Chains A and B, each alone.
Chain A
Amino acid sequence: MTTRIFGSGIRRREDPRLITGRASYTDDIKLPGTLHAAILRSPYAHANIKSVDATGAAGQPGVVAVYTGEDTDGVLNGLPCAWLIPGSDLKTPAHPAIAKDKVRYVGDAVAVVVAETRYQAEDALEHISVDYEPLDVVVSPKAAAQDGAPQLHEDVPNNIAFTWALAGGDTDAAFADAAVTVSDTITLPRLIANPMEPRSALAQWSAAMGELTLWNTTQNPHIARFVTCVVTSVPEHKIRVIAPEVGGGFGSKIPYYADEAITAFCSMKLGVPVKWTETRSENYLITTQGRDHIEEVEMAATSDGVITGLRTTVYAGMGGYLSTAAPGVPTILHGLMYSGPYNIPNISGTVYGVFNNGAPVDAYRGAGRPEATMLLERMVDLVAAAVGQDPAEVRRKNLIPKFENGHDVATGITYDSGDYESALDSCLSAAGYEALRAEQAQARADGRCVGVGVSSYVEICGLGPSQVAGAVGFQGGLWESAIIRFYPTGKANVMVGSSPHGQGEETTFAQIVAGELGVEVDDVEVIHGDTDNTPMGWGTYGSRTTAVSGAAIAVAARKIKEKSRALAAHLLEAAPEDIEYEDGRFYVRGSPDQHKTIQDIALMANVAWNMPEGMEPGLEASAFYDPPNFTYPFGAHIAVVEVDPETGRIDLQRYVAVDDCGVQINPMIVEGQVHGGVVQGVGPALWEGAVYDDDGQLVTGSMLDYALPRADLLPDIEVSSNTTPSPHHPLGVKGIGEAGTIASTPTVYNAVMDALRPLGVTRVDMPLTPEKVWRAINDARNGG
């Protein structure tokens, strides 16, 4: 890197428009003649639809059309599941956009009203009568998998959508020989992603052109186009998907939803633009949720705390239908990470993906890795307690030693680079761990309930090699592409297929170009989100955008640099091998005054008055980057909590994060990602959880009941980092979008359990709400 810009914590360029409210989101797009859709949703979690009578709605003021499943059946294809895990006996039952015969969760679409205003459409919904025959409901994914449980789909016995097994080493022998075994059942609650912007779709069908334009809140417009083609049968090249400003996603805007299919259907039927925007209440009911794991876990170790084996059985709730990427989350992104940062020679796991009567579950920040890290870190703490050693030291003795270029683990994957012990040491030092333990001992002597939690983690991101994607059943590639185009004035556009929606890549991508070519950040505009003016790409999720799309930009920039060097040589009448490059200038070796700037080159390439023999005009390059491996960021986190034993309330007092995401392009953005990630992981440890009652009704259906993390409940987050470059990445970067979420849930959970240990409390289900903690304390006092 040759300039200061790359690696510098400059302010995010996108923020002024975002924080002053001048950004334009899907719902802000106003097309003349737009009609508005409202969708009637099932109030039952599980019911047969005996009849739908929409005639009452049709005559209501402003109503233009009412459609039911009878209308869409055979016109819209079912919503596809796009991660077909091989060897898992995967069932993909039909998922119609509008339910015709049966509903499987509260919120399942039953009819749509299109009216001149949204208010009229909402009013008219009350005039549709649906005759439901309620059926038995099952909410728990483990209960749903048992014999005799209510069956959601006829052709899916025991509601088991897939069974995925993992085996490395000889786990049975490891447990048979183990001096120490520990076990626990870990419940990861369903989580609601809560992006600031709810989902929205605006569809404009042009019958004259045979073209469909879809403005949509998506993290991956090119995938949205692909799936829109599958569902609507409009040819892919006749579909344009535009993700304008997208206000957060956290995974919930990866999937393709019934709502955009319904909106497109309405526009195609009526020949005018149709808009649908989710209410917050709908967001809670229908937008994909995260986690919903019941994990039965055992760990084997020596009497000295050396881990010898890990065995799991996991029930992963899928909700009423398989969402777009759902099967990959609790399998590939989860089980393959069971070794974590540790040497664990023997690992086996079985994951059941189970239909249950709730909103579909799909990727949510961390997607599979928080669920894996949680069970692993809980087990390591239990081993430490069982052998009577400090949890930090038990981690240390099991960490994989430092490696710079590849390390195989028992789950069959190869980590790229790691220095886990340095991360742990940095975190222990930053937290003042020894002093913390001394303070804790004093606090305990004073009758206070103070706990310290430690976790180490490694995660898999930068998804990923397309060949691996194919091998694990992902119905797409995972490469990215970029085009860099210089204009005569020396300014450049960077067009990418990924689709940032809050992560700051309009800034970091410009920093990559600035670093590679010596231009000003402000001379680079990053264009994304529109399938008509960006090259193909697979989208923004899995902490892959900077890692994969950023690599494509770097490779394209290096192509620009080589062409510029050749053109500079020609213009300076020197041999290309005599041209040196420094800070945006190409000069003849030994004669720095004889130079051409990148801006000079851009002008001369564009006017093309004097090109070398055989060189094409223009200064533009594109690159398709398919990563050779995933990237594996890692780190160690520590939390300090105090529990009020009278009430069960928990005060999170300190949080210390040390993360190693490889080379950092913008440390301020990295820090921001860690802050947000940590908070989103603390949520389910202490507060968050979508609760369905036995009838499948969402009890936590609004922000009055669903406890999102809030600033006044959190301490300052103490962030620092180490740098272990990825050996295979052109810039050495790994990814940081999810690290905090992956680490913080077990860190805080372990801290609370550490605080409660002297009281005899050994387990409490997440989230650790005050009443649950209070009951656990009382139960322990009363003899368990």
Chain B
Amino acid sequence: MFPAQITYHRAGSVAEAVQLLSDNEGAKLLAGGHSLLPLMKLRLAAPAVLVDIGRIEALKGVSASGGGITIGALTTHAEIASSDLVQQHAPVLAEAAALVGDPAVRNRGTIGGSVSHADPASDQPTVLAALDATFNVTGPGGDRSIAAADFATGLLENALAENEVLTSISVPSVPSGAGSAYVKFPHPASRYAVVGAAAVLAVSGGACSSASVAVGGVETTPVRASSVEAALAGSDLSDAALDAAAAAVAGDLNGDAMGDVFASAEYRRAMAAVYVRRALGAAASRAG
């Protein structure tokens, strides 16, 4: 509850933030503060320098772009949950945003901070994996993009260099007529996902024309369920087809599921199939 001594900088621009990161080894970015500050208060994290990007207006808000939307890294969960643009282009992102934490967390916590923290029990990384989102990053050498699937590299680890800033996330529109859903088994205390499953299903002529499915909370990074997707492709999305497809998630889990006192690895794997099935059912019912 008493963080170690820190030096605090407020960055006025992304360029300034990148410069501050470059100048201060081990510096950490501060956005909404809902992941980093609790760790600092417990002295589990003790960065010597904090670079606060929370007031950089250019990083805030949702805009339409090309075939989808671009979400500024500082956009809060509450803003995403209530955004008409998100609702039009990727409603599952709004559905998940409304399930993050509690109102205080949703009002302060940002999507960029959440995905950068790379906690596999967070909701939005799972959804963004299912949506084939792209993460836009600025560093000393300029801008680059990282596919959602490549962004989280391990437990609380991401693909950003020490002096890179995540600026926005590009999310392509879900196919016309697609149904999508995010269902979550929240931990009763933390409200993080013990298991979270996201599904986007498109239907054409009574058959599944595309499917994307991801599972969070089970392994150290979100898992794209390609076996489930393959099982769905061309199927009639009947209950039997969904049952069979959900069961295939076992083939997508590589065996190193996480376990803790609340939910063992074995249980999380079993729940992955249950929650994928429920996400598929909800998405299928919304498709067409």
User: Which A positions have Cβ atoms within 8 angstroms of B?
Assistant: 38, 118-119, 122-123, 279-281, 646-647, 649, 687, 691, 699-700, 702-708, 710, 713, 769-771, 774-775
Contact = CB atoms under 8 A, between A and B. Distances in A.
Contacts of A647: 185, 271, 274
Interface in B234-288: 260-264, 267, 270-271, 274
12 contacts: A123-B4, A279-B2, A281-B1, A647-B185, A647-B271, A691-B261, A700-B261, A704-B187, A704-B190, A705-B262, A708-B189, A770-B185
A703 B5 CA distance: 25
Contacts, number: 54
B261 A706 contact: no
A687 B190 contact: no
Categorize the interface residue count of chain B: 20 to 34
A-B CB proximity, top 4 nearest: A707-B189, A707-B188, A279-B1, A122-B2
B261 A649 contact: no
B48 interface: no
A387 B187 CA distance: 39
Contacts of A691: 261
Contact of B2 (A119, A646, A705, A770): A119
Interface in B1-42: 1-2, 4-5, 42
A769 B261 CA distance: 10
A649 B185 contact: yes
B189 A705 contact: yes
A769 B267 CA distance: 12
A691 B187 CA distance: 16
Given A705-B190, A713-B188, A771 B267 contact: yes
Contact of A705 (B4, B261, B271): B261
* Interface of A, helix, strand, loop or mixed by DSSP: loop
A119 B41 CA distance: 11
Nearest to A703: B189
A279 B43 CA distance: 13
B145 to A, nearest CB: 33
* Interface of B, helix, strand, loop or mixed by DSSP: loop
Interface of B: 1-2, 4-5, 42, 185, 187-190, 192, 260-264, 267, 270-271, 274
Given A123-B4, A691-B261, A713-B188, 17 more contacts: A38-B2, A119-B2, A123-B5, A279-B2, A280-B1, A281-B1, A647-B271, A649-B185, A699-B260, A703-B189, A706-B189, A707-B187, A707-B189, A707-B262, A708-B189, A770-B185, A771-B264
A710 B2 contact: no
A649 B263 CA distance: 12
B131 to A, nearest CB: 26
Nearest to A644: B274
Contacts of A770: 185, 263, 267
A775 B266 CA distance: 10
Given A118-B2, A281-B1, A647-B274, A771 B188 contact: no
Nearest to A279: B1
A123 B267 CA distance: 41
Nearest to A649: B185
A281 B42 contact: yes
A121 to B, nearest CB: 8
A781 to B, nearest CB: 13
A325 B274 CA distance: 47
Contacts of B261: 691, 699-700, 705
B127 to A, nearest CB: 21
Best-buried of B4, B5, B263, B270 by chain A (most CB within 10 Å): B270
Contacts of A123: 4-5
B1 A771 contact: no
Contact of B188 (A122, A280, A687): A687
B262 A771 contact: yes
A279 B1 CA distance: 6
A704 B1 contact: no
